[in-house]
A and B are shown apart, each in its own frame.
Chain A
Amino acid sequence: MSTSTSGIPFRENTVPALRDKILRAAMSNATETFAVKRTDAMAGLPVEEWREQASALRMHVLDNLSDYVDRFAENAARAGANVHRAKDSEAAREIVASVLKDHRIGRVVKSKSMVSEEIHLNGHLEKEGITVVETDLGEYIIQIAGEGPSHIIVPAIHKDRRQVGKLFAEKLGCDYSDDPAVLTKVAQKVLRREFLSAKAGISGANFAVADSGSIVLFTNEGNGRMCTTLPPLHIAVLSIEKIIPSLADLPKFIRLLPRSATGQMITSYLSVITGSRKPGESTGAQEMHIVLLDNGRSELVRGEYREMFKCVRCGACLNACPVYRMVGGHAYGSTYPGPMGIVLTALLEGMERAGSLLDATTLCGACGDVCPVKVPLPKLLRKLRESRVEQGLTPKLEQSAMAGFGKIVKSPMLFHLGQMAGHLFWPIATKLGHSAGLGRMPRPVAKTFRERVS
């Protein structure tokens, strides 16, 4: 099946992925482990009630997003942060680069941020002569490997320990080891020096709190804390839909996000950062910048796909998805993979680019079942497929076949003719349409069920 030339070649990407035994084993292990941990973590808890409350709160914010963004910006500024609003990726990248350049900073430590991937921040900073050191272990691994993240929670999960060991030995010059504890120590030693000498830290944020102007980070390693409390300058980049009304709303998400993501009751660290260091304090960046990214969201939250923006980036839908389990995140060719990635990529980057990703689902519904904030992913995927058809972006042969279907489905006579033709021409049809799966279906029978009962 052909795809638009500017489109992501999803099917082509899946072929080598399916043959990659290491990748297949890694993805099976990861998704199954996460799924079991998530189920165990939710057992015996009023999860349905929690999901409903979290979903309602997220919808409320999205329905009043503009007001909440203003409120957050005002309160963050009141607490001493410099708040910047970025219309799109380019604007956001420019803001970060110019803050760093104003301070003549040529090297920055960074804790994991999916939105920074969305805006292609690292590449831009490197072009501006600024070295970015990723400090989350998974991000550190893929940075050394020159790859993008393949999962939104565990970016390097597509690699096995031997691959990581080889990578470290080759690129860092250390002795080869495939023991995760040893490899972690290697990274820890290198990064500790970076943390202690860094003049600036970049982070994302899991949530932003409107009433207090705080950002909230859920982390496990401690690198997020290092990046946001050791250097004198902290830049946080986040997209506008991450806002929640007040700190009193945070527990709802504390209960759902870690359980959905990793099966933990809570992450090792949860940081609530409110503005810059205040008089009498010994913690906090002296100067804090917050970049609020729009990138089409303020428009999209008014449209028919707005429920997608309830997403809290837990990755549970990735772990539940049969397609994602088979091919991993890189096959999606996009910042965000898996079910949430298909929808977000289509919404943020458009159908021409993301159209083929809409094939990457069997509409099995597993994703919708696990979403902690009840994003109706199967419904959104079906709607996007309808939109793709309306925009005329499906293959011409498929469009003709469907038009033909529309005609015969209303006419029992034509339908029966079609069945007879299918039976007669099956040998030819399967040769021509073998790649379309016809060869895997059985031959239409000579005497249909209808003929047998009549």
Chain B
Amino acid sequence: MRVQLFATCLVDTMFPETGEAVMRLLRHFGVEVGYPAGQTCCGKPADSGGYSGESRKAAEHFISVFEKTDGPIVIPSGSCASMVKNHYPELFNHDPVMRQKAEVIASRTYELTQFLVHVLKAHEAGFSGSGKITYHASCQLTRELGVREEPLMLLRSLRGAEFVPLAHADRCCGFGGIFMAKLPELSMALADEKVDTILSSGADTVTGCDHGCLTNIADAIKRRGAAVRVKHIAAVLAEGLK
């Protein structure tokens, strides 16, 4: 099987090790991973700010890059995957040709844990892990994509690691993309509240499916001076491959 990876701009620019972890994970199951050249950003930052002209440009570019390929498109981010699956078609309501293309792209797209669980059955693979892990459930991942169980199934399957639940796991962490820049005091207060629940859980690692959220949470953990690791779920799972 061959899949196409959309790394996301955050992974490409700031967290390349997550991209590497995703590739190792997929290859572990014998999946060939294509990385279409020319990919940039899914357009979510512009879209959530209300700049539909700019987000449409991003969507057009994404579609032009990926329509030259085939097979599933795997994205290690709930917000990017939801942007492609749920919002791309809407962006082209006035353009039937592009809308059709967007729908095809959307139907090929999986958020990473969706692909790992439903296609690769990775939760049955017996990965190993360590320590006490808790999980932050990102907003678009849960409410727009409906991905709630898949990350939990993967984390609970880790042998040697203890999964501890996070109180109010699906409460917004305060990232909100442009929100973090426009209302930083609120963003930090929400992240602080998230750190409170993380510390109460007793976990030594907090994970999630979105680097935007994890960045905001990591900043709050640093400000708190807490000794909790923040890792993307791809990295947590890939650790068990060593």
- A/B: CB atoms within 8 Å of each other: yes
A361-B176 contact, Cβ under 8 Å, with A412-B37, A445-B16: yes
Provide the residues of chain A in CB contact with B38, threshold 8 Å. 412
In angstroms, Cα B180 to Cα A359, docked, is: 10
Report whether A415 and B41 are in contact in the complex, using a CB–CB cutoff of 8 Å.
yes
Report whether B54 and A326 are in contact in the complex, using a CB–CB cutoff of 8 Å.
no
Chain B residue with the shortest CB-CB distance to A436: B181
Report whether B48 and A408 are in contact in the complex, using a CB–CB cutoff of 8 Å.
no
A365 interface hit (Cβ, 8 Å): yes
Most chain B beta-carbon neighbours within 10 Å: one of A1, A323, A412: A323
Report whether B171 and A322 are in contact in the complex, using a CB–CB cutoff of 8 Å.
yes
Provide the residues of chain A in CB contact with B179, threshold 8 Å. 359, 361-363
Interface size class of B (residues with CB under 8 A): 35 or more
CB distance from A413 to the nearest CB of B (A): 9
- Interface window among B94-102, B120-128, B139-147, B199-207: B139-147
Which residues 1-45 of B sit at the A interface, judged by CB distance below 8 A? Answer: 7, 11-16, 19-20, 23, 35, 37-41, 43, 45
Interface membership of chain A positions 430-444, coded 1 if the CB is closer than 8 angstroms to chain B and 0 otherwise: 000001111011111
- Interface window among A220-228, A254-262, A386-394: A386-394
Provide the residues of chain B in CB contact with A406, threshold 8 Å. 46, 51, 53-54, 57-58
B215 interface hit (Cβ, 8 Å): yes
A11, A385, A452: the one contacting B16 at CB < 8 Å is: A452
Provide the residues of chain A in CB contact with B46, threshold 8 Å. 402, 405-406, 409
Provide the residues of chain B in CB contact with A387, threshold 8 Å. 50
B149 interface hit (Cβ, 8 Å): no
Provide the residues of chain B in CB contact with A362, threshold 8 Å. 139, 172, 174-177, 179, 190
B61 interface hit (Cβ, 8 Å): yes
Report whether A415 and B40 are in contact in the complex, using a CB–CB cutoff of 8 Å.
yes
Which residues 173-214 of A sit at the B interface, judged by CB distance below 8 A? Answer: none
Report whether B143 and A366 are in contact in the complex, using a CB–CB cutoff of 8 Å.
yes
A364-B182 contact, Cβ under 8 Å, with A322-B190, A394-B49, A409-B54: no
CB distance from B119 to the nearest CB of A (A): 22
Report whether A15 and B40 are in contact in the complex, using a CB–CB cutoff of 8 Å.
no
Chain A residue with the shortest CB-CB distance to B61: A410
In angstroms, Cα B46 to Cα A435, docked, is: 19
Chain B residue with the shortest CB-CB distance to A35: B168
In angstroms, Cα B37 to Cα A110, docked, is: 67
Report whether B13 and A422 are in contact in the complex, using a CB–CB cutoff of 8 Å.
yes
Report whether A386 and B187 are in contact in the complex, using a CB–CB cutoff of 8 Å.
no
Report whether B190 and A326 are in contact in the complex, using a CB–CB cutoff of 8 Å.
yes
B52 interface hit (Cβ, 8 Å): yes
**For the complex, would chain A's binding face be called helix, strand, loop or mixed by DSSP majority?**
helix
Report whether A445 and B51 are in contact in the complex, using a CB–CB cutoff of 8 Å.
no
Report whether A409 and B40 are in contact in the complex, using a CB–CB cutoff of 8 Å.
yes
Chain B residue with the shortest CB-CB distance to A358: B50
Provide the residues of chain B in CB contact with A359, threshold 8 Å. 179, 182-183
A14, A364, A398: the one contacting B172 at CB < 8 Å is: A364
Report whether A389 and B13 are in contact in the complex, using a CB–CB cutoff of 8 Å.
no
CB distance from A440 to the nearest CB of B (A): 4
CB distance from A303 to the nearest CB of B (A): 17
Which residues 364-390 of A sit at the B interface, judged by CB distance below 8 A? Answer: 364-366, 368-369, 382, 384-389
In angstroms, Cα B171 to Cα A358, docked, is: 20
In angstroms, Cα B10 to Cα A445, docked, is: 10
Interface membership of chain B positions 122-161, coded 1 if the CB is closer than 8 angstroms to chain A and 0 otherwise: 0000000000000000011001100000000000000000
CB distance from B142 to the nearest CB of A (A): 8
Report whether A402 and B48 are in contact in the complex, using a CB–CB cutoff of 8 Å.
no
Provide the residues of chain A in CB contact with B58, threshold 8 Å. 405-406, 409-410
CB distance from A233 to the nearest CB of B (A): 46
In angstroms, Cα B49 to Cα A406, docked, is: 13
In angstroms, Cα B186 to Cα A433, docked, is: 17
Report whether A18 and B40 are in contact in the complex, using a CB–CB cutoff of 8 Å.
no
Report whether B40 and A410 are in contact in the complex, using a CB–CB cutoff of 8 Å.
yes
CB distance from A210 to the nearest CB of B (A): 35
A403 interface hit (Cβ, 8 Å): yes
Chain A residue with the shortest CB-CB distance to B168: A32
A248 interface hit (Cβ, 8 Å): no
B20, B41, B139, B190: the one contacting A365 at CB < 8 Å is: B139
A389, A419, A450: the one contacting B35 at CB < 8 Å is: A450
Report whether B12 and A419 are in contact in the complex, using a CB–CB cutoff of 8 Å.
yes
Report whether A365 and B13 are in contact in the complex, using a CB–CB cutoff of 8 Å.
no
In angstroms, Cα B56 to Cα A389, docked, is: 14
Chain A residue with the shortest CB-CB distance to B194: A322
Which residues 184-242 of B sit at the A interface, judged by CB distance below 8 A? Answer: 184-190, 193, 215-216, 218-219
In angstroms, Cα B176 to Cα A398, docked, is: 16
Provide the residues of chain A in CB contact with B172, threshold 8 Å. 322, 362, 364, 366
Chain A residue with the shortest CB-CB distance to B170: A366
Provide the residues of chain B in CB contact with A365, threshold 8 Å. 139-140, 143-144
Report whether A445 and B14 are in contact in the complex, using a CB–CB cutoff of 8 Å.
yes
A450-B182 contact, Cβ under 8 Å, with A322-B174, A440-B215: no
Report whether B139 and A453 are in contact in the complex, using a CB–CB cutoff of 8 Å.
no
A137 interface hit (Cβ, 8 Å): no
Provide the residues of chain A in CB contact with B37, threshold 8 Å. 412, 450, 454
Report whether B13 and A437 are in contact in the complex, using a CB–CB cutoff of 8 Å.
no
Report whether A449 and B7 are in contact in the complex, using a CB–CB cutoff of 8 Å.
yes
Residues of A within 8 A of B (CB): 1, 10-11, 14-15, 18, 322-323, 326-327, 358-366, 368-369, 382, 384-389, 394, 398, 402-403, 405-406, 408-412, 415, 419, 422, 435-438, 440-445, 447-450, 452-454
29 A–B contacts, CB within 8 A, in A order: A10-B183, A11-B183, A14-B183, A15-B185, A323-B186, A361-B176, A361-B179, A362-B174, A362-B176, A364-B143, A365-B143, A366-B143, A382-B50, A385-B50, A386-B50, A386-B52, A387-B50, A389-B52, A398-B49, A402-B46, A402-B49, A409-B40, A410-B60, A415-B40, A437-B181, A441-B215, A442-B215, A448-B13, A453-B35
14 new A-B contacts, CB < 8 A, other than A14-B186, A358-B50, are A1-B182, A18-B189, A326-B193, A362-B139, A363-B176, A365-B140, A405-B41, A409-B43, A409-B54, A419-B12, A422-B13, A436-B182, A448-B13, A450-B39
